[in-house]
Structure 1
Amino acid sequence: MPEQPATPVTVLLTPDGRITGWGEGAARLFGRTAGEALGAMLTDLLGRPAAAEPLTAALKLTAEGRPWCGVLPLSDAGLSASCDPMTGADGGTAVALTVAPPWAGGLELLSEAGRRIGSTLDLHRTAREVVAVTVPRFADAGAIYVLERLLADDDRPAAEADGSAVVRRLAVSFADDDPRGWSREFPVNEVIVYPPSTPYARCLATGRMVEFGGDAVQDTLAHRTGRIIDGLLDHVSLLAVPLVARGRTLGFAVFSRKRGRLPFASADAALAAELAARAATCIDNACQYRREHSTATALKAGLLPAAVAVPPGLQIAHRYLPARSGVGGDWYDVVPLPGDRIAVVIGDSVGHGVTAAAAMGQLRVAAHTLAGCEFPPGEVLERLDQIAQGLDAAQFATCLCLVCDPATLRCELACAGHPPPLLALPDGTARHFPVPDGLPLGVSDEAHPPVYGQAPAAIPPGATLALYTDGLVESRMRNVDEGIARLASALVASRSASLEETADGVLALLEDQQGHDDIALLLIRPDLPEPGGQA
């Protein structure tokens, strides 16, 4: 299909309607070359005898030196046109006939589509935005269908063996005063199998638009129910438009018009193709995000510990809250060591999505192994730094490693750029737990690897030690230091005999931090009695 002109087209005519000037815009609009057009009568060239009388009247006025404007039946829908007198190359009278393309109003529609479609990466919302833009301005009904295999979690063949189209309806809209009945008949999220002979399956197989009506409407749209729905056959002109992005056909859009409205013409088909192309890009982005988010979520769910090993003498509560916008790289682990000791590791790989989750997984497994080999915390971080240097998926990561002996409550800590632990004391105060500073993992020069120092510390009886990631303390509204001060206050205010209730209370008080970034929180409390004998 030739590309349609987006601006008005001018044709030069003699006063009796014979063509003397025919440019590329006219060729695209009317589908006739200059060789075919020059010297021909305009109405004969276009096969529009009904246009002869109104065009003759317009040309007569123009020949008298009076400009004319109105609608001429030069297409099925009619074309807005104007006639202006001018002097021809031979000094005689000529007429400049300027015609607005029938889809010129579609420029506004395309502009609106650019503003409204793809406002989020939510697949269903994107599909709803497409039909909301097109119904009822462009069509009396519209729907978006995406290949089911793109949405399925299992591995399926690239296409159905028999050529059928297995699709899911993501959005549907009707211009009727009461569209609820239609929505019941064509529900969102319904999976439909269209046989190879249907226009929809042909559209998918060829990647080309299919126009149909008449018996095909009955055969195709009634295929799902095996019966004719009241009012269904009023939709007499339909377009099945492929949704193609990056060379792949993702599904198709359906637009239909009812009796009493002009059927789809070539200009309408060009507009539908442009709308579908823009919609397909947004749908493809949403599909990619959906797959990546699903993969990262599943990957992270499989790597984060569902439970932690708690040795005698300690209580441990842990929480993980993913970001709404995507899965990040927060991770933590509690590794049992000989003598009822434990190693606690918490970290944050930069970024979001599959790459961050994959880097997190590799670092967590490595940290678990290194800590389990009873390397001291500083050496654990030094070896993790060497591993992080070779991870293409991670630019850098922060990490904190702690080894604790519940019998003595003595700890050894090392830190690689991670936020410092907090200690909430029984007297209602909170302070930083001492930890030496160190570079984040993966940012140092390989020729000069960092040395991570260790600091000894002790957890006082009855105190609560908090390890966390920056999602709990950093935001656009406040800096990290202010966020850490808020966390310290929340730890003191949420103190409870139950460490689980304490963790829930902290997250409730800092609810405004949630959703922007991943959040990990580990609380450690000795079972030893507090000073004064209180358990």
Structure 2
Amino acid sequence: MDGGGERDTSPERGTGDAAAGRIPLAVIVVDRDGLVSHWSSGARRLFGVDRDAAVGRPAGDLLPVSGALPEEPHAEPAPDTGAGSDGLGPDLEASLGGGTGYATAGRARLDPDRRDPDGERLDVLWWAYPLVGPGPSRLLVLAADATRLRDERGYDDETAERVSPGFARHTELPASDELARRLPEILPSMGPGLSGRIVSQILELGYPVLEFSQFDRVPVTPYWGVPRRPGRVRAEAAVPLERAVLPVPAGAELELEYAAVRERLEFLNEVSSGIGSSLDLGETIREVTSAAVPRFADFAGTHLRAAVLAGEGFPDGPPDASTVMFRVWVEHNDEPGRWDDTVPVGEAFAFPEHTPFYQCMVTGEPVLVPKVTEELSERISGQFEKRDLRPLIGGRSLLIVPLKARNVVLGFMVLMRRPDRSAFDGMDRTTGAELAARAGLVLDNARMYTYQENVADTLQDSMLPQVTPRLPGCDVATRYLPGTRLGRIGGDWFDTIKLPGSRTALVVGDVMGHGLNSAAMMGQLRTAVQTMATMETPPAQLLRNLDDLARRLGDTYLATCLYAVYDPIRGEVTLANAGHIPPVLVRAEDGGSELLDLPTGAPIGVGGVTFEATRVKVAPGDRLVLCTDGLVEVRGSDIGEGLAALCESAAHPAASMDDACDTIIRALNTHGGRKDDVALLMARLNGIPDEHVAAWHLVADPGEVPRARRLVRERLREWGLPQSVETAELLVSEVVTNAVQHAEGDRIGLRVVRTDALLFEVTDAEPTLPTMVAAGPYDETGRGLRVVSRLAREWGASAAGHRKTVWFEQAITPEHDRPR
């Protein structure tokens, strides 16, 4: 034991002059049945009984303390709570029997047959704490050898006889905060739950102390760590707690080292159970940083490479002086706001080579600085412009540990302790490295999950079309909500495809299942639909072709698909269904909505099933709503309820198409735990007025070419578009000339449609599609389609039956841009 005066002092002087003591303690826990449940190695040395032989036995058989375990089990306990005139305290049996709810202490000598190695009777000091709360533990007993206290501290017999155990509130003792922090070290081999519960009750009932003449109280705590020099020394003058160099009795070193290692393993175990509770990268960063403060360090700052923070792939190559690190989180137990302005979260910079941070980052090994010197603090602070770190880091102990995964440095963690705390040592370096290793794996898991989510989102976004909101004769709005299942990747898709004749194809499909395979299947089917649609394949035939394609790709997946073609000139929609939920048509005339009654058909991939097409007349302003079943189908509910809700919400008035889509989503996406994808496509069918469409019949005669130019010129001038006449005449002349030269029939059709652009269509009876050819300098033909391709905004050709149509679009040129 260190400290403590050998003179009598009066109670009025208080205890502030007493220094903390160090004395080896035996720790015993007794359960509710009076059996030993915990037996420390100190108890083994003091009482001579191994742990295996002690645990589970009655405590009265193992604690032969004179006067503390009387033979009469119902003997009344002594009322004294401190040392009596004879130096003996109350009976320990009173505590074991639950006779008091207060802590008790005492001093006794062992029975004559129990002697120390030198043949003398052992003089035992003990403290007993009744335990309350959950769990089977009922009593904590701390015991110490007063004989070693006398021999190793050099007290004479008179002084040793005046030492007795007692209690004092920890706030009455010098350096009470330090004592409270060190108190868990008394229980080095207990779990954190039991240890924490016991420590809280010790602080409430009284700190274990030694009393000199019942006046000087000296707190008793066990020595922590490896002794600097073993052996015996005499009592010295009292020294401050943080500077005391205290000896450890011979033979205790192994237990102390074991306790130190066990405490660090418990710390790492608690950290491991507290981090990684979420795969969210930001939450994981906060958990990892906060785990070190305040138990291991007073300051912790986590820095990560940009690629890790962005959730990208694994960082390329080792870091160097040009590697940018982001400070992603800071945790400390200083006064609030002290570090905020100097080391703000979110700051990005590269560390110079002369700093210890660079050394840790490049080598991937921990860097330990026991004390930040003035020169080092100047060097570190020099890299921060207009900020002085020296007052914050000077004199502190610094430990920088790398955050690694699969031998790649993801970043590092800066750990610091205040000068009034023990500096980091070699064991702390190992503990910090293990903490960083576990944190690195957790961070890498979160990074990989974020990366996979980004890949899934990118893949999903790339497979969904960039829908043009305005198409000839209709406006379109869409919504897509990814599901919550594996990878957030599904097989739902929608599409709008521009067709010849100002028509638009509207598609909604759903590949059954989720994951990358479903998304890949969806991509193939969507591409096939686009290809067949541009070839003007009729809706029913398109679904048949798609069914054949799906079966050739494999029989693992099925898909539903709804394909609709809107003709704004005729005012009709042609639909074909392959096992999909029917669309909703909202009539502009009265605002009513209805589910279109279509032949359901079988899903794509079943095979051998016929598909039918249905034509529906529509009026300008009508809205067509197509969606996947993820919007209307709820597990445990009838899908009819969802379809009824879809009809009701689709008919709700809205200021815009986007607002109408949002209204549907809000109305139907209210159920929790939605796991399926949702694809929604809404088209407002505006139609094209009759006065914006002009059509003529021509004969297959070269003399019809000038007539075609004249008809187009007159109509464009009627529409107030004289600036577009010259280009239109040239392009119409080329296309009609080709039709006259190559058509087999004698009738040629010419149609002009005005929308946001001018659409020209030339139809003849030759099904062979035209192709551009390379014309030589002396060739008289072969240049017509090149002229069309150069001057038209878009052009193309399609065949239907025994006829083909060559079409091109011409942008409407404003008057001030007309060529002169």
Normalization by structure 1: what TM-score? 0.70
Mean Cα deviation higher: 261-270 or 98-107: 98-107
Provide closer, same or farther for how the CA distance between residues 112 and 489 of structure 1 changes in structure 2, counting only shifts above 3 A: farther
Match of 1:191 among 341, 344, 348: 348
Of 223, 231, 235 in structure 2, the residue corresponding to residue 72 of structure 1 is: 223
1:109 & 1:479 partners in 2: Cα distance?
53
Residue identity in the other structure for 2:122 = E
The CA distance in 1 between the partners of 2:640 and 2:572, in whole Å, is 27
Report how far residue 142 of structure 1 moved. Answer: 0.8
Aligned twin of 2:602: 438
Going from structure 1 to structure 2, the CA distance change for 1:258 and 1:488 (only over 3 Å counts) comes to: same
CA 1:217 to 1:452, structure 2 compared with 1: closer, same or farther past 3 Å?
farther
Match of 1:328 in 2: 489
- Partner residue of 1:489 out of 648, 655, 658: 648
**Which structure has the higher relative contact order (CA within 8 Å, separation 6+)?**
1
Helix, strand or coil for the counterpart of 1:182?
coil
Return closer, same or farther for 1:358/1:249 CA change in 2, 3 Å cut-off.
farther
Q: Is the 8 A contact 2:311 2:450 kept in 1?
A: no
Question: Aligned to 1:225, what secondary structure does the other structure show?
Answer: coil
CA distance in 2, matches of 1:487, 1:131: 48
Q: Which amino acid aligns with 2:489?
A: G
Structure 1 residue 131: deviation in Å? Answer: 1.6
- Indicate conservation of the 8 Å contact 2:575/2:613, yes or no: yes
- Say if 2:415 is the partner of 1:255: yes
- Residues 262-305 of structure 1, C-alpha deviations (whole Å, 9 max, x = no match): 12234433433333233222321222233333344344444433
Residue of 263, 266, 281 corresponding to 2:441: 281
CA distance in 2, matches of 1:367, 1:62: 99
Whether the 8 Å contact between 1:332 and 1:345 is mirrored in structure 2 is yes
Query: Residues 103-502 of structure 1: matches in 2 within 5 Å?
Result: 104-106=262-264, 109-151=267-309, 158-159=316-317, 163-178=321-336, 180-212=337-369, 213-215=371-373, 218=377, 221-225=380-384, 228-234=388-394, 236-308=396-468, 312-322=472-482, 327-329=488-490, 330-349=492-511, 360-384=522-546, 397-406=559-568, 407-415=570-578, 417-425=579-587, 426=590, 428-439=592-603, 449=607, 451=609, 453-461=611-619, 463-475=622-634, 478=637, 480-492=639-651, 494-496=652-654, 498-502=656-660
- More deviation, 158-167/234-243: 158-167
Deviates more, 1:449-458 or 1:239-248: 449-458
Task: Measure the CA separation in 2 of the matches of 1:185 and 1:475.
Answer: 53
Pick the aligned partner of 2:667 from 503, 509, 525.
Answer: 509
Amino acid at match of 2:576: L
Maintained 8 Å contact 2:326/2:347: yes
In structure 1, the residue matched to 2:685 is: 526
Is this contact kept in 2: 1:165–1:195, CA < 8 A? no
Map of 1:84 onto structure 2:
none
Instruction: Give the fraction of aligned pairs with identical amino acids, expressed as a percent.
Output: 34
* Partner deviation per Cα, 1:107-149 (whole Å, 9 max, x = no partner): 5544543444233333222111112222122211112111124
Q: Is the 8 A contact 1:14 1:95 kept in 2?
A: no
CA distance in 2, matches of 1:77, 1:391: 76
8 Å Cα contact 2:381-2:390 kept in structure 1: no
Whether the 8 Å contact between 1:308 and 1:333 is mirrored in structure 2 is: no
For 1:292 and 1:203, locate their aligned partners in 2 and report how far apart those are by CA, in whole Å. Answer: 29
Counterpart secondary structure, 1:134: coil
Q: Is the 8 A contact 2:372 2:398 kept in 1?
A: no
Instruction: Give me the whole-angstrom Cα distance separating, in 1, the residues matched to 2:541 and 2:353.
Output: 63
Q: TM-score under structure 2 normalisation?
A: 0.48
What is the distance in 1 between the residues matched to 2:442 and 2:681?
A: 39
**What stretches of structure 2 of length at least 5 have no aligned partner?**
1-37, 47-115, 125-142, 145-185, 187-220, 230-250, 689-820
> How many residues are treated as equivalent by the alignment?
456
Q: What amino acid does structure 2 have at the position aligned with 1:188?
A: V
Shift of 1:10: 6.0
SS in 2 for 1:184: coil
Counterpart residue type for residue 119 of structure 1: S
RMSD value, Cα? 4.4
Q: Deviations over 1:456-508 (max 9, x none)?
A: 2415546532111233224568564433332222113x134754442232234
CA–CA separation in structure 2 for the residues paired with 1:353 and 1:282: 25
8 Å contact from structure 1 (residues 217, 236) kept in 2:
no
DSSP-derived class of the 1:252 partner? strand
Other-structure match for 2:240: none
CA contact (8 A) 1:144 1:171 kept: yes
Q: In structure 1, how many angstroms separate the alpha carbons of the residues matched to 2:644 and 2:348? A: 52
Larger Rg: 2
Q: Is the 8 A contact 2:599 2:612 kept in 1?
A: yes
Q: Relative to structure 2, which stretch is displaced further, 507-516 or 262-271? A: 507-516
Q: What is the SS of the residue equivalent to 1:282?
A: helix
Does the residue aligned with 2:325 lie in a helix, a strand or coil? strand
